[in-house]
Amino acid sequence: MNLDKQYGANRQSVLLVDEHFTDNRNNWEVIDEPDEKSVVTGEGLYLENNTKHIWNYYKIPTSLCATDSFLFDVTFQVLKKKKAVDNRFGLLWGFSNEPKILNSFTADPSANRFCVETIIRRKAIYDQIDKGNIQPLSNPDVYRMLILKMDKRHYFFVNNIRGPVCRQHPIQHWHGSNFGIYIEPMVVLLVKHFSI
């Protein structure tokens, strides 16, 4: 994905995480239960959510804080989507180890849409910011999602779109330095690449 010059003007950058999941050196949570599976396969991080009503998340700590700029880039392969209210998956950032508030950028290929929102856990309150259509890659089962934060603004990209998929957002919620993956019930994913 080539970001336009206005987004690609890069200050000094450091690669914090460049995960291809050839091993579990970053200590991703590994679970093998009937309702939830997560395992590093060597080809990706395999995630399976077999619950009916509970979304799951997987996290990795970083050294980033609310004032830092970052480029968060993840490639997903959707292995299975079962009939459910939502078939969303995506990115989480700026949350604590026991999160109450999470920022999310998710895609729902079944509904051909994406969503940027702040999730308040254990409450039915969602601060919905924007929705829009996904432009799929030539292989409809592979999706690349990217968040670019410059100063206080967030820009969101899906697949090979040169410009952001929605207007820039000044997201104010930052409650920790964790970044991670979000997966709705009845979805099976292989996270192929995860970089910050």
12 CB-near residues (< 8 Å, 6+ apart): none
128 DSSP 8-state letter: E
- 114: β partners: 107, 132
- Average pLDDT of the segment spanning 134-161: 82
Work out the pLDDT band at 109, boundaries 50, 70, 90: confident
Tokens of 49: 């959510």
Q: Which of 16-20, 96-100, 171-175 has the highest mean pLDDT?
A: 16-20
Tokens of 27: 């200590």
- H or E stretch at 7: helix 5-8
16 CB-near residues (< 8 Å, 6+ apart): 62, 63, 64, 70, 196
Q: Which of 22-26, 110-114, 166-170 has the highest mean pLDDT?
A: 22-26
- Distance between CA 66 and CA 84 in Å, rounded? 34
Work out the pLDDT band at 61, boundaries 50, 70, 90: very high
Q: How far is CA 184 from CA 49, 126, 165, 181, in A?
A: 7, 15, 21, 10
Percentage of the residues of the chain whose pLDDT score is greater than 90: 46
Tokens of 44: 């990706």
Work out the pLDDT band at 125, boundaries 50, 70, 90: very low
Mind giving me the DSSP string for 148-195?
Answer: EEETTEEEEEETT-SS-SS--B-------SEEEEEE-TTEEEEEEEEE
Residue 130 has pLDDT above 70, yes or no: no
- Distance between CA 63 and CA 114 in Å, rounded? 28
Selection from 62, 61, 122, 115 nearest residue 89 by Cα: 115
53 DSSP 8-state letter: S
Would you state the pLDDT for residue 192? Answer: 96
Tokens of 89: 């998956």
Residue 143 has pLDDT above 70, yes or no: yes
- Average pLDDT of the segment spanning 163-167: 67
Selection from 107, 37, 57, 119 nearest residue 78 by Cα: 107
- Distance between CA 82 and CA 4 in Å, rounded? 36
- Average pLDDT of the segment spanning 123-152: 73
